[in-house]
Amino acid sequence: MNDFSGVDPYRLRDLANALQGLADTLDREGKTIRDLFTKWEGTLGQGVLTQQAAQVRDDARSMALRADFAYNVLLQPRIGPVNSPLPPNWVNIPWDVSRIDTAQEGAQEARSLLAALNNPDSPQSRTTLRMLSQSLADHANDPAFLQAFMNAGGLEASARAARFLHTQDGTHGEAVLSQESEQILARFGQAVQAATSLAEQGKIKLSPTYLEALTKPKGGDMWSVAMLFKYGPKGDKWDAKVLSSVGGAMLDWRSKQQMRPDYSPPSMNIGGYVPGGYVEGDNPWYESLGLNVSYLSVGSGDAAVRIRGIAANDPSLILMQRVGENADASRQLLTGPDGARHAKALVNDKWHTPGPQSFNDAQWPAAVIIAATTDRKGHPEQSAEAAANVINAGAAEYGAEKGKNEYQKTQYPVPAGITRALAQVFATYVPDFAESHGMPKDQAAAAATGKDNAGRLIVGHQTALNFLSMIMQNKDDAGNVVNAVNAQVSLTAARGMDSPEAGTYMENLAELQGEVTAAGHQVGLDAEKLKDEANKKTVLWVDSLGAAVTAIPGIPVQGEWVQTAIAGALPAIKDSFSVDNAQKYQEAADIKFYDDRSAMRLPLMRGLLLGGKIKPPEGHPEWANGQISLKTPGDLTDFNSWWQQVARQQGGQLDRFDDGMRTAFDRGNSAR
């Protein structure tokens, strides 16, 4: 094209969008078009249609880049060359987009973006944000553009964009951003993710302190930073270092805030009925978003709507969701010099909204805990270090829980999502807890040292007791704790009990089960209540064990025993904590145990069954799959008789195991 043609940057953008829409339609409807041409015996070659679709997409991309360039030029000072035959405000928009200097364009757009953010009263500023966000999306795969843009202040500007847009949009009920603003932020978030990932891969160079734009933003505005992650890519797309760094900064910010208002429930006094309402502290973080809920100034209807907005805009929840979607970032967050502090922030009762509305706030920090600690096969050492920090944090949090008064318990009860995550951590590290018998009582949880201990934990009795007590405050998870130990008993029995290592491990498990019982008693679960909670989970755990048993090897050599115990249980743990699986099961039958010590006979016999070492007794073929249900006194008599029969057949080995396990159980239960 050699002729001059006037260009309106806005209309050029409309043309680019129209071409993009056509390309999307051809991609979406292409098969239908080709099928119809075939049906109608059309003479047009279908290969031409495919070529045309590809050409339209290329044209759309080129037109988008021309539109970006045109708008960028529109924002720049225009001074024509001396003696030029063209007017000074004429600019050449190249048809060949490869001639555009995208590095120069990126730097200019960053400066234009900063100017717009600094001039919020100008009606043009919002348009500038919208148009430049589109340019960022168009250049998402252009390293030169992204490097220049971010280094010229674009990263800092991106972190400020949400606050600017909210100021323009205002607050409407629980919404603090318009749909258009959300789309703009999605494009900024995508650009920040792309640029920071390229920087960490060494493909572009950013300032050595570039992360401070996200971890120490201007004015401490972590909410505005979080919006890049809320509307930007999912957590698995972000670089792990970037995500863990921002996540850590967010937890540190959170620790200095009152994240939720307190709630005063309705009551009666001498003057009559007093309605409930929210009670705020000074300058809560959500005040700047127009989400105040104080009963002193906001009616109950508006408060009910706004409290949803507070939960939806909590920047720490947003970051924990993204971190939890990235296992590497989760491990980095909970390891290293700051890992213990971050674990303490996660294992905390404040992941909750007081009052009549519930939002499951704890699900995202729980996801981080699980992702960071449970990959014992792929990342054993990092996972163990993260788990040690979580265990210590859980033990410490139990101390804080014990000190709560009744009002504090109503505001922030034991967070079920967190205790469920801690129960899964315990289940994953049952062999380590069991092997830690005899450790000094106050030994904190720690990743074991030495080349033969890589990926393992040590934990003292008092730390374990407090950690277990923290979990078992949520009675639903008490059942998971008991069954996690029983699962190892069953797996060991299925694997074979002839080696000395098996006998030692069984006694260690019995001692650990004694500690579990002591922890249950510490939180008000007597023997009967603890067994009831365990029974509710037994069916689920036994079904999960069935698949795990088929995958485990035979008796390992001595040095591999614990490692085999660790690996063997991982599939069962994953299935047993699956939300989908848990929903399939109702409460199990009311199994009649004798007492705490005798209860371990059941998982032992279950393992022998699942491992094919014994057959079910006459009259109970339904026990063959390990679901040993003792509903009646007759069932109990049959089980005892069966035990006696198997014990005789095995030459007393079963009785010796039983005696050793009872003694070990008493040792664990009494070491308080």
Span 577-632, pLDDT tens digits: 665 544 444 444 344 443 455 577 888 888 899 888 899 999 999 999 888 887 78
Span 428-472, pLDDT tens digits: 999 999 999 888 888 999 999 987 888 999 999 999 999 999 999
First to last CA, the chain: 87
For residues 134 and 59, membership in a common domain is answered with no
pLDDT at position 79: 60
Q: Which residue has the tokens 């073929």?
A: 621
pLDDT at position 21: 82
pLDDT at position 661: 79
Q: For residue 294, what are the β-bridge partners? A: 278
- The stretch 504-509 carries a mean pLDDT of 88
- The stretch 155-170 carries a mean pLDDT of 97
Is this structure's pTM higher than 0.75?
A: yes
For residues 215 and 150, membership in a common domain is answered with yes
Nearest one of 300, 386, 403, 387 to 338, comparing CA atoms: 386
Q: What one-letter code names the amino acid at 574?
A: K
For residue 552, pLDDT over 60 is answered with no
For residues 71 and 108, membership in a common domain is answered with no
Ramachandran category for residue 272: left, alpha or beta (phi over 0 → left; psi -120 to 50 → alpha): left
Tokens of 336: 């290293």
For residue 550, pLDDT over 50 is answered with no
Element (H, E) at 279: strand 277-279
φ, ψ of residue 629 to 5 degrees: the values are -105, 120
The lowest-confidence range among 321-325, 411-415, 566-570 is 566-570
Chain-wide mean pLDDT for the chain?
85
388 against 57, higher pLDDT: 388
Q: What percent of the chain has pLDDT over 70?
A: 84
Domain boundary among 233, 257, 282: 233
For residues 158 and 43, membership in a common domain is answered with no
Separation of alpha carbons 188 and 232, rounded Å: 7
Q: Which residue has the tokens 């371990």?
A: 600
Cα 469 to chain centroid distance, Å, stands at 24
In-domain check, residue 206:
yes
For residue 410, pLDDT over 50 is answered with yes
Tokens of 375: 């990959």
In-domain check, residue 403:
no
In-domain check, residue 408:
no
33 in Cβ contact with 49 (< 8 Å): yes
616 in Cβ contact with 606 (< 8 Å): no
For residue 331, pLDDT over 50 is answered with yes
Q: What one-letter code names the amino acid at 29?
A: E
Span 15-55, pLDDT tens digits: 888 888 887 787 777 677 666 666 666 665 566 667 777 78
Tell me the residue length of the chain. Answer: 672
To the nearest 10°, the Cα dihedral for 63, 69, 72, 77?
Answer: -140
Tell me the residue range of the domain where 103 lies. Answer: 99-233
For residues 106 and 212, membership in a common domain is answered with yes
368 in Cβ contact with 346 (< 8 Å): yes
Separation of alpha carbons 189 and 322, rounded Å: 12
In-domain check, residue 270:
no
- The stretch 281-304 carries a mean pLDDT of 93
In-domain check, residue 466:
no
Separation of alpha carbons 423 and 415, rounded Å: 12
For residue 63, pLDDT over 90 is answered with no
Close Cβ partners of 624 (under 8 Å, ≥ 6 residues apart): 609, 615, 616
Q: What is the DSSP letter of 150?
A: I
For residues 15 and 136, membership in a common domain is answered with no
Nearest one of 534, 541, 545, 543 to 491, comparing CA atoms: 545
Q: What one-letter code names the amino acid at 542?
A: V
Residue 41 Cα distances to 38, 44, 45, angstroms? 5, 9, 10
Pairing of strands 457-458, 446-447: antiparallel
For residues 132 and 15, membership in a common domain is answered with no
For residue 549, pLDDT over 90 is answered with no
For residues 613 and 658, membership in a common domain is answered with yes
Residue 127: count of CB within 10 angstroms of its CB: 13
Q: What is the DSSP letter of 172?
A: B
Domain boundary among 233, 266, 293: 233
For residues 668 and 633, membership in a common domain is answered with yes
Cα 197 to chain centroid distance, Å, stands at 20
For residues 199 and 159, membership in a common domain is answered with yes
| Radius of gyration of the chain, Cα coordinates, nearest whole angstrom | 32
In-domain check, residue 332:
no
187 in Cβ contact with 137 (< 8 Å): yes
In-domain check, residue 331:
no
In-domain check, residue 562:
yes
Write down the H helix ranges in 376-499. 380-402, 406-411, 416-428, 430-435, 461-472, 475-495
Span 192-241, pLDDT tens digits: 999 999 999 999 999 999 999 999 999 999 999 999 999 999 999 999 99
For residues 56 and 135, membership in a common domain is answered with no
What's the domain count of the chain?
A: 3
For residues 47 and 194, membership in a common domain is answered with no
pLDDT band at 173; cut points 50, 70, 90: very high
